[in-house]
Amino acid sequence: STQQRFLLSLLTLGMHYCFLLYQQITTNNSIMVRSITSLLIVAFSAAARTNAFVSPMQQSPTRIPSSSITHRNNNGPLPAKDANMSEEERDAAMEKALKAMTAFSNKYVQNTNTYYCEDQSVPAVVIKGLAEHKVTLGTPLCPCRFYEDKEKEAKDGYWNCPCVPMRERHECHCMLFLTEDNDFAGTEQNISIDDVKKNCGF
């Protein structure tokens, strides 16, 4: 809906504004200013976890049938990859995708010598979003962006994880893979499937 699109855009802009602000004041000796900015980032991240990264079927207490979910392209609506799955089949597919994307993320972090965010709920939510797209689109499209046409973007491949900016410049829009000099990078290069589920309420 228009409201959801506006909220997603606002949350994304807010998170990036706070991140840029934090970077600008890293040379400032004011601990209070840096602390307030950090709190703002956490607040936007928390809001994003409940709205921006969560699919409509997870936002509602009443689960929307998979068959009602469609993706659009220039020729009209296309059924989601999981459209003909039963609820049990979709849950099994999601479990499989979640394990696959967790394993992929752990491997990619090590191969690129990057790190997960010190707040592990951040990589957990992103991994869940990738798994959702793996099930519905057949490919791990970046879950941190708004797309007019997800099917088209998935086929294009630019934002399929790892996206082109990450592969070429180690720039991860989702903050899943962080370089060592990133202020939010932790020390972990591994996250367990149990931690992913726990942090996502899966």
3-state secondary structure of 78: strand
Selected catalytic residue, list 144, 161, 174, 200: 144
The answer to whether 144 is a known catalytic residue is yes
What are the CB-based long-range contacts (under 8 Å, 24+) for 40-44? 40/14, 41/15, 41/184, 42/119, 44/11, 44/14, 44/15, 44/18
Spell out the alpha helix ranges (H) of 137-192: 150-156, 164-169
| Cis? peptide before 165, omega within 30° of 0 | no
Residue 106 to residue 81: CA distance in whole angstroms: 26
> Would you please indicate which residues are annotated as catalytic (active-site) residues?
144
